[in-house]
Amino acid sequence: MSVTTVIGTDLSEAARLLRGGGLVAIPTETVYGLAANAYDAEAVLRIFEAKQRPAFDPLIVHVRDRAQVDEVVRAVPPEAQALMDRFWPGPLTLVLPKASRVPDLVTSGLDTVGVRMPAHPLTQELLRAVPFPLAAPSANPFGYVSPTTAQHVADQLGGRVPYILDGGPCTVGVESTILGWEDGTCVLYRPGGVPVEDIEAVIGRVGGGKRAVLPVAPGMLASHYAPRTPVLIGPVPALLARHAHQRAVVISFQQRHQAQGNEVLSPAGDLHEAARGLFAALRRADASGADLIVAEVFPDEGLGRAINDRLRRAAAKREG
Ligand code: TXA
Ligand code: MG
Q: Confidence class of residue 216 from pLDDT cuts 50, 70 and 90?
A: very low
Neighbours of 247 (CB within 10 A): 13
Please give the distance, rounded to the nearest whole angstrom, from the Cα atom of residue 237 to the centre of ligand 2. 31
Residue 35 and residue 140 in one domain: yes
Residue 19 and residue 55 in one domain: yes
Ligand 1: lining residues by beta carbon, under 6 Å = 28, 30-31, 33, 57-60, 91, 93, 95, 107, 110, 112-114, 116, 136-138, 175-176, 178, 189, 213, 217-219
* Ligand 1 atom closest to residue 219's alpha carbon, by position in its atom list: 19
Please give the distance, rounded to the nearest whole angstrom, from the Cα atom of residue 286 to the centre of ligand 1. 24
pLDDT tens per residue across span 264-284: 999 999 999 999 999 999 999
Weakest-pLDDT range from 20-24, 56-60, 258-262, 316-320: 316-320
Residue at 170 is within a domain: yes
Please give the distance, rounded to the nearest whole angstrom, from the Cα atom of residue 90 to the centre of ligand 1. 14
* Ligand 1 atom closest to residue 91's alpha carbon, by position in its atom list: 1
Strands 248-252 and 24-26: unpaired
Q: What percent of the chain has pLDDT over 90?
A: 91
What is the per-residue pLDDT for 222?
Answer: 60
Residue at 255 is within a domain: yes
Better-scored residue on pLDDT, 153 or 208 = 153
Average pLDDT of span 144-162: 97
| Amino acid identity, position 218 | P
Residue at 168 is within a domain: yes
* Ligand 1 atom closest to residue 93's alpha carbon, by position in its atom list: 3
Residue 293 and residue 237 in one domain: yes
Residue at 320 is within a domain: no
Average pLDDT of span 50-63: 95
Please give the distance, rounded to the nearest whole angstrom, from the Cα atom of residue 140 to the centre of ligand 2. 7
Strand partners, 123: none
Do the beta carbons of residue 177 and residue 196 sit within 8 Å?
A: yes
Q: Above 60 in pLDDT, residue 93?
A: yes
**CATH number of residue 239's parent domain:** 3.40.50.11030
Pairwise CA distance, residues 196 & 302, whole Å: 7
Q: Confidence class of residue 208 from pLDDT cuts 50, 70 and 90?
A: confident
What is the per-residue pLDDT for 19?
Answer: 98
**CATH number of residue 161's parent domain:** 3.90.870.10
User: What are the b/e assignments for 93-127, b being 16+ CB within 10 Å?
Assistant: bbbbebeeebbebbbbebebbbbbbbbbebbbebb
Sheet of 60-62: strand order equals 6-8, 163-165, 24-26, 33-37, 134-135, 60-62, 112-116, 92-97, 177-182, 185-190, 207-208
Pairwise CA distance, residues 199 & 202, whole Å: 5
Please give the distance, rounded to the nearest whole angstrom, from the Cα atom of residue 142 to the centre of ligand 2. 7
Residue 33 and residue 68 in one domain: yes
Q: What percent of the chain has pLDDT over 70?
A: 93
pLDDT tens per residue across span 117-133: 999 999 999 999 999 99
Q: Above 90 in pLDDT, residue 320?
A: no
Q: Above 70 in pLDDT, residue 210?
A: no
* Ligand 1 atom closest to residue 139's alpha carbon, by position in its atom list: 6
Say how many domains are in the chain.
2
Neighbours of 269 (CB within 10 A): 12
Domain that holds residue 307: 231-315
Residue 235 and residue 295 in one domain: yes
Q: Above 80 in pLDDT, residue 51?
A: yes
Instruction: Dihedral sign for Cα 301, 303, 309, 312, please.
Output: negative
Average pLDDT of span 225-246: 95
Residue at 38 is within a domain: yes
Pairwise CA distance, residues 74 & 44, whole Å: 21
Q: Above 90 in pLDDT, residue 37?
A: yes
Minimum CA distance residue for ligand 1 atom 21: 217
Residue 162 and residue 50 in one domain: yes
Describe the crossing of helices 121-129 and 11-19 by its angle, rounded to 10 degrees: 50
The pTM of the full predicted model, rounded to 2 decimals, is: 0.95
Residue 286 and residue 255 in one domain: yes
